[in-house]
Amino acid sequence: MAGGGLVTHRPRSVEELAECLRSQTSPVQVGNGAHAVWCRDPRTEERLELSALSGVLEVRPADQIVVVQAGTPLEELRSVLAEHGLGIPDDGGSAEATVGGRVAMNLPHERLGQTGSWRDWVIGLQAVLADGTIFRSGSKVVKSVAGFDLHRMLVGSRGTLAVLTEVTLRVRPLASIPAAAIRPLPGSASSAMTVENLHGVRPTDLEELARFAAGRGGAVDEAGSIVWYRSLPGEEGPRFSSDWVVRSGDGDRNLSDLPAGFAPLLRKLKKALDPDGRLTPGALPL
Amino acid sequence: MQEQELVRGLTDLIGAEGVRAGSSISRAYDCDAYTVDRSKPTAVVLPSSTQQVQKVIRFCLRHALPYTPRGAGTGLSGGAMPALGGVVISTKRLTRILEIDIDNRRLKAESGVVNTHITQAVAAHGLHFAPDPSSQTVSTLGGNIAENSGGPHTLKYGVTAPHILGLTYVDTEGEVVELGSVTDGFPGPDPMALIIGGEGLLGVVTEAWVRLTPVPKAVETALAAFPTIRNATQAVAGILAAGVVPAALEMMDKNILGALNAAFGLTYPEGTAALLLVECDGEPGAPAREMAEVQAICQSEQCLSFVTAQNEDERKQLWTARKKGIGAMGRLAPSIVTHDGVIPPSKLPEMLEFVYEVAAEAGVGIANLFHAGDGNLHPCFYFDDRDPKQVEAVVHAGERIIRRCVELGGSVTGEHGVGIEKQDLLQLMFSPDDLAVQMRMKEALAPGTLCNPCKVIPNQKGCVEHQRRWRGVAW
C-alpha cells in the first residue's frame, strides 16, 4: 500500500468524522501519530486524523477560558492565547503535538507539581464514540457540577474510549505561569526517557531516586515530587510501591502499572463506549 | 417486603444498634436540606464498616429494595432524599480516621468523618484538608465526594476532586472496590473522576484517601466596598487578569449588607452596592505584595473603602460578612432559599440586574452572594414560607434564574449538584445524546436501578416525574 501502509481518514467536520466511524468496522488509530513513541505499535492499518478540525473557536480572557478544536497544533493555541495575555502551562513535547493529542496523552510536563495537569484544565469537551455518537460533557465555565465528569475521565484516555473533537480549557494569565522548575533533558525528544511522578514518596526515597537520576542527567522539580531522567528501554530504575511510570520507546510496558482497581473499571468503560475495540487498540493496557 | 420483615432482616445482618425504623425515623430522614420534596424510607441503617455496608447493599439487591447513601443530610439538591419505601444507608457511624501519613501528606478516613475533623486531626502538623464548603463543620467527606463540593477557597485550591487520592466504595453489584494509589497524577483515564461528583449514584463510598495541604504561612484578608456592582466585577476581572490568584474572592450585594446590619449592627460606607472580600495566602511576603496589587486595582475601580485585617481577630471579623450573611437574613424574613448557578464572570452585572427583576416580579426579597472568581452565584430569596403563594413564587423565580444562567453560557449548578432539584434543567445544558452517553457510563460502572434511583439524569425509565412540593403539599 502506498503512503507507508496506513490508510488515513481526514474528516473535514465532526459530522463527517462521526459518519466515518459509523460506516466502518475496522480498528483505527486516532490522531496524527505525534505521540506514537509513547504507545505500543497498534498494528492497525487505518488512521483517523483530525488536522482539518483545527482552530481556536473562542477566547474569553475575562472568563479565563478558551474553546479549541482538537486538531489544533498546541503551538497555535499557545500563540493565540499569548495574543490575549493568556497561557497554558504545558509546553508541548513535539512540533506535531495537537491539543487533542496532549489532552488524550496527559503526559507529565515541567510545571506539573505547580500547575496540575490537563485533567485540571479541561472543563468541557465534545467527542465522538466508535458508533458515531457525538456528545458533550462539562461546560464552558470553570466551576460546574452538572452531570458526571466524563470529560475529566477522558483526559489521558489515549484515543481508546472516544475521539476528542473539541476541548474547552481553563486558561490563566501568562504572568501567572511559573518558570519551569526543571529543564528538558538534552536530546529528550528522540532518546528513550522515563518520567516518574513521585508525589507521596517518603523524602528518603526521593533522595535516593534523585541521586539515581542525577547520574543520568535528571533533575527534581520545585515541588520536590517529579524526577525526570533518561533511561534505556528495559532499564529499571528504583521502583516504589507508589509511583507510576510513563516510558517512551518502551512499547508494552508503557502505563503497565495502572493504579489499584483502575483496570476493571476501565475495561467496563471500554466495553460500554467502544465494545468492538476499534479505537486505537493497544494504547492502554486493558 | 413488609416493614417488620425488612427490619428483622437488616437487624440480623448488622445488629439492632445499626437499624432504625418507625414513623418518626421515616419523617426525620425524608429529605435533606432540599426541603421542597420529601419521600419516606422504610428503614435507616447505620453501618459501622465497609463490610456492613456491603451486607446491606447485597440485602437490598436480594430483595429489590432501593437504597440511598446519606452523610450529614446537608445537601441542597435532594441527593439524599430516600426512594419511597427504600433504605437509607447513613454514614454516621463511619467516623473513624484510619491512617494519617504526614510525611506523604495523606490521610485515610471513613466517609462519615466530618470535613473539619480531618483538618483538626492534622492541624498540629501545619496541614489541612483544603475543600471548605460552607457546611464543612457538619458535612461529611462522603458528601463532599458525592457532590464534588466547593467553597470560597475553590478559586485557588480547587474543588474536592483534586484532593482525593483514593476511594473505597461498595458498587451496585455489592462488590467492594478499592481505587487509586497514594500518588496523584496518573496520566491515563481516571474512573475516580466519575465517582467524585457522582452524587451517590454509582455506589456507596465508605473510605477515602485524601490529600493534605500545607496551611499557608502567611495570609492577608481585606474587605473592599464599591459604589456599583459593575465596579466590583471590574475589580475582580482586573485582579484575575493581573495574574493574582487569591485564595478567596467573595462578593456580597447591598441586600446582604442590610441583613448584616439588622442582625449584627455591622455598617458599611454610605452608597455601598457591593462588598468584595479578598484573601491572599502563601509564603511570607507574597500575600502582602499581592494584596497591595489588589488594593491598587480596587482603588482604580472607585472603592469607597478598603480595610485590611491586622490580626487574626480582625480577619475573622471581615469573614463575618461572608459567613454570617445568609444566616443574618433570618432578621428579614422567616425563611430563605439559597440558589446555586454559574455564569461566565463577565456576565455578572447583567445577571444581577435580571435577578433583582425576577425577585421584584415575584414579590419576594433577594440578597446575593457570589464566588466572584468562579462565576458561582448564590441568590438567596427571603420570604414567608407560611404563605404558599410566596413558596411557589420562590421556586419559579429560582428556575427563571437558573435558566438565564444557562442562556448566558453558564451552568445549572456550581456546587449544590443536580440531585432532584435541577434534574429537568439538565436538559438545558445537555442534548438527549449527551445524557444517553452519561447513562451508558453509569450503567457500565453501576448497573441496576436501586442505588439512589431517579436522580440527576432526567427521563430515566420507571421514574415518576418529580413533583414540586413544599412540606408534602403539591401544586
pLDDT of residue A184: 45
Residue B429 forms contact with A (CB below 8 Å): yes
Q: Chains A and B: how many Cβ contacts under 8 Å?
A: 243
Q: Are strands B87-90 and B67-70 parallel, antiparallel or unpaired?
A: parallel
Among A39, A81, A148, A164, most B C-beta atoms within 10 A, so best to mutate, is A148
From A3's Cα to the closest Cα of chain B, the distance in A is: 31
pLDDT of residue A42: 64
Q: How many whole angstroms separate alpha carbon A38 and alpha carbon A20?
A: 26
pLDDT digits (tens, 9 = 90+) for B225-266: 999 999 999 999 899 888 888 999 999 998 888 888 888 888
Chain B residues with CB under 8 Å of A203 CB are 103
pLDDT band for position A210 (cuts 50, 70, 90): low
Chain B residues with CB under 8 Å of A40 CB are none
Q: Under an 8 A CB cutoff, do A144 and B342 touch? A: yes
pLDDT band for position A185 (cuts 50, 70, 90): very low
Chain B residues with CB under 8 Å of A129 CB are 437
Give, for all 475 residues of chain B, the pLDDT tens digit.
789 999 999 999 999 999 999 999 999 999 999 887 889 999 999 999 999 999 999 999 999 999 999 999 999 999 999 999 999 999 999 999 999 988 777 899 999 999 999 999 999 999 999 999 989 999 999 999 999 999 999 988 999 998 998 999 999 999 999 998 665 567 789 999 999 999 999 999 999 999 888 899 999 999 999 999 999 999 998 998 888 889 999 999 988 888 888 888 888 899 999 999 999 998 899 999 999 999 999 999 999 999 999 999 999 989 888 888 878 888 888 888 889 999 999 898 899 999 999 999 999 999 999 899 899 999 999 999 888 899 889 989 999 999 999 999 999 999 999 999 999 999 999 999 999 999 999 999 999 999 999 999 998 887 765 554 444 444 4
Q: Is the pLDDT of residue A219 over 80?
A: no
Q: Is the pLDDT of residue A259 over 80?
A: no
Nearest to A60 among B158, B165, B344 (CB): B344
Q: Is the pLDDT of residue A241 over 60?
A: no
Q: Which residue of B has its CA nearest to A113?
A: B185
Q: How many whole angstroms separate alpha carbon B250 and alpha carbon B153?
A: 10
From B387's Cα to the closest Cα of chain A, the distance in A is: 31
Q: Which residue of A has its CA nearest to B246?
A: A176
Q: Under an 8 A CB cutoff, do A150 and B438 touch? A: yes
Residue B107 forms contact with A (CB below 8 Å): no
Chain B residues with CB under 8 Å of A158 CB are 188-189
pLDDT of residue B376: 95
pLDDT of residue B462: 76
Q: Under an 8 A CB cutoff, do A268 and B444 touch? A: yes
pLDDT of residue B464: 66
Tell me what the mean pLDDT of segment A64-70 comes to. Answer: 97
Q: How many whole angstroms separate alpha carbon B42 and alpha carbon A157?
A: 42
pLDDT digits (tens, 9 = 90+) for A85-141: 999 998 876 788 999 999 998 887 767 667 878 999 999 999 999 999 999 999 999
Chain B residues with CB under 8 Å of A261 CB are 177-180
Q: Under an 8 A CB cutoff, do A273 and B416 touch? A: no
Chain A residues with CB under 8 Å of B342 CB are 139, 141, 143-144
Least confident of A64-68, A199-203, B56-60: A199-203
pLDDT digits (tens, 9 = 90+) for A136-158: 999 999 999 999 999 999 999 99
Q: How many whole angstroms separate alpha carbon A124 and alpha carbon A32?
A: 22
ipTM of this predicted structure: 0.94
pLDDT digits (tens, 9 = 90+) for A12-61: 999 999 999 999 899 999 999 887 766 666 678 899 999 999 999 999 99
Q: Under an 8 A CB cutoff, do B413 and A117 touch? A: no
Q: Under an 8 A CB cutoff, do A143 and B414 touch? A: yes
Interface of B with A in 131-160 (CB under 8 A): 147-148, 150, 154, 158-159
Nearest to A149 among B158, B194, B245 (CB): B194
Radius of gyration (Cα) for chain B, nearest Å? 23
From B36's Cα to the closest Cα of chain A, the distance in A is: 20
Neighbour count for residue A76 (Cβ, 10 Å): 15
From A45's Cα to the closest Cα of chain B, the distance in A is: 24
